[in-house]
């Protein structure tokens, strides 16, 4: 697990490395807001209700959150920053592995606080404005991953196209695994669900060069593949992978 | 080109098959709105401005459009309906071909009116609210494609995961091609740009079984593939494909 994973802020998660003197006003506000959203509904809760519950002035809210929606997702901005920082240093990783690891930062932010994450998931399903907000955030993650991949693949020769398709695939796979876990009420192994989903993308798009070179194969090893001519391409890929041992 | 392509409504596009007697109030409103957005900016234009320009009452606007944003994208609802109808009948097509053809309905809606589409693209880049609206629409297209693929692949055995990853890939590829064309100012061949982008997804995810069986191969044909053990997976796929002639 990369060091970055721990920097993501999650309501209710204590972080011993955060400076103790910093007033947790932002967290107090986020928690007051979320409790009110659960009690009264998102639309029925005003910013005035939130600041009254938190015991602060109205201006304090807007100092920390541009909108009510932002208070529901107080952790994404920091996670986006962490993702960007992680990718900036991921120069030696195989590109698809790098963006998969970057996506796992989002998962860990959710799985660090299952109760909050599941409650928020249910709230978001009920409030169209929150779903829209979430789509914008997901798009920013996707663009962050795509930007990194463009840097690795280059803008020309379909590099940008490949970057965007892979970024979308990683996000879709990550969210499939995350949703599976959220729908289960936060039971089971969230990381396993996401690893499994990301594995499908890696098998199709990952070069696997770094991994296999490091583990078992010498330069110049070859694989001989025999497949029925009408076989589905993804099955062919699975077969190849089982032969060259990427998993 | 499927028959469905022609049903998508595009401002400024005449459609001889639409009943002539139907009052084009919706189109008049959309055109008035769009001209005002270009002249004054989206935020600066009110619904009152729009109905004044169109010469109708305020209620007429909300009869056709739930919001100002909807008036910027008057054609997506119909296109979504067309996509759903197209997919409902696409039972014999190879699944990835089917969703690629479905995505092309969106492209044709844009390419039928290049001037409008390019102006709208530029407007959307400038107005955050329109970008958010567009994300919601894109998500609905993606969910439509994923729903179809789940039906084809089945919910179990990773069918849903594969459906979501492929739907996201098709949307990302389509939008890459579409954006390339929009950024060029609507010059060049939009269909070619999107076909090229979708080809990358088809090569990786399409089964190709129907195509190759229909054209050249007899049952039981085999392919022998030799590849360096560290070769990137997508290159291996490209090589296989060139041998079995999927393109």
What pLDDT does residue A206 have?
A: 84
Give yes or no: residues A128 and A198 share one domain: yes
Alpha carbons A166 and A206: distance in angstroms, whole number? 9
What ipTM does this complex have? Answer: 0.79
Average pLDDT, integer, range A60-83: 94
- B212-233: pLDDT as tens digits: 333 333 444 555 555 665 666 6
Give yes or no: residues A159 and A241 share one domain: no
Give yes or no: residues A152 and A224 share one domain: no
Q: Higher pLDDT residue, B233 or B43?
A: B43
Q: Is residue A43 part of a domain?
A: yes
Q: Which residues of B touch A207 (CB under 8 A)?
A: 230-234
Structure tokens at B101: 């053809």
Q: Is residue A214 part of a domain?
A: no
pLDDT surpassing 60 at residue A3: no
- B149-201: pLDDT as tens digits: 999 998 777 999 999 999 999 999 999 999 999 999 999 899 999 999 999 99
Picking from B131, B136, B173, the nearest residue to A165 by CB comes out as B173
Q: Higher pLDDT residue, B233 or B36?
A: B36
Q: Is residue B243 part of a domain?
A: no
Alpha carbons B210 and A125: distance in angstroms, whole number? 39
Please judge whether A226 and B224 are an interchain contact, meaning their C-beta atoms are less than 8 angstroms apart. Answer: yes
Alpha carbons B184 and B180: distance in angstroms, whole number? 6
What pLDDT does residue B247 have?
A: 43
Least confident of A20-34, A123-137, A191-205, B182-196: A20-34
Show Cβ contacts of residue A57 under 8 Å, excluding neighbours closer than 6 positions.
Answer: A51
CB B133 within 8 A of CB B73: yes
Give A 149-168 residues with CB within 8 A of chain B.
158, 160-162, 164-165, 167-168
Least confident of A98-112, A166-180, B11-25, B137-151: B11-25
CB B1 within 8 A of CB B108: yes
Average of per-residue pLDDT values in chain B? 83
What pLDDT does residue A156 have?
A: 72
Q: What percent of chain B has pLDDT over 70?
A: 74
Q: What is the CATH number of the domain that holds B120?
A: 1.10.357.10
Count of domains forming chain B: 1
Q: Between the CA of residue B78 and those of B73, B75, B141, B194, what are the distances in Å?
A: 10, 6, 12, 21
Q: Is residue A42 part of a domain?
A: yes
Average of per-residue pLDDT values in chain A? 83
How many C-beta atoms lie closer than 10 Å to residue B43's C-beta? 12
pLDDT surpassing 50 at residue B114: yes
Give yes or no: residues A119 and A56 share one domain: yes
Please judge whether B229 and A246 are an interchain contact, meaning their C-beta atoms are less than 8 angstroms apart. Answer: no
With DSSP H G I counted as helix, E B as strand and the rest as coil, what are the percentages for chain A, rounded to 5? 70, 5, 30
B13-40: b or e for each residue (b if 16 or more CB lie within 10 Å)?
Answer: eeeeeeeeeeeeebbbbbbbbbebbeee
Q: Is residue A92 part of a domain?
A: yes
Q: What percent of chain B has pLDDT over 90?
A: 69
pLDDT surpassing 50 at residue A194: yes
What pLDDT does residue A168 have?
A: 98
Give yes or no: residues A138 and A224 share one domain: no
Q: Is residue B247 part of a domain?
A: no
Least confident of A189-193, A211-215, B165-169, B190-194: A211-215
Average pLDDT, integer, range B101-119: 96
Average pLDDT, integer, range A135-157: 93
Q: Is residue B239 part of a domain?
A: no
β-bridge partners, A222 = B228
Q: Is residue B236 part of a domain?
A: no
DSSP B43: T
Give the domain range for residue A238: 220-247
């Amino acid at each position: 697990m990369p060091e970055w994973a721990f920097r993501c802020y999650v309501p209710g998660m204590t972080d011993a490395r955060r400076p103790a003197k910093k007033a947790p006003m932002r967290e107090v506000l986020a928690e007051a807001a979320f409790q009110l959203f659960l009690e009264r509904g998102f639309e029925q809760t005003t910013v005035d209700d939130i600041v009254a519950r938190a015991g602060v002035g109205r201006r304090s809210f807007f100092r920390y959150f541009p909108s009510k929606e932002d208070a529901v997702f107080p952790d994404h901005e920091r996670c986006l920053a962490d993702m960007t920082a992680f990718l900036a240093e991921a120069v030696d990783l195989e590109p698809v592995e790098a963006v998969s690891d970057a996506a796992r930062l989002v998962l860990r932010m959710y799985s660090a606080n299952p109760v909050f994450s599941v409650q928020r998931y249910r709230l978001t399903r009920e409030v169209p404005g929150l779903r829209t907000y979430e789509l914008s955030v997901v798009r920013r993650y996707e663009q962050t991953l795509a930007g990194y991949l463009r840097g690795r693949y280059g803008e020309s020769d379909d590099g940008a196209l490949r970057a965007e398709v892979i970024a979308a695939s990683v996000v879709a796979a990550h969210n499939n695994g995350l949703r599976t876990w959220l729908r289960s009420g936060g039971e089971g192994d969230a990381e396993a669900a996401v690893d499994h989903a990301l594995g499908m993308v890696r098998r199709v798009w990952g070069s696997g060069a770094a991994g296999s070179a490091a583990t078992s194969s010498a330069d110049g090893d070859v694989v001989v593949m025999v497949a029925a001519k009408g076989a589905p391409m993804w099955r062919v890929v699975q077969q190849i992978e089982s032969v060259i041992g990427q998993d």
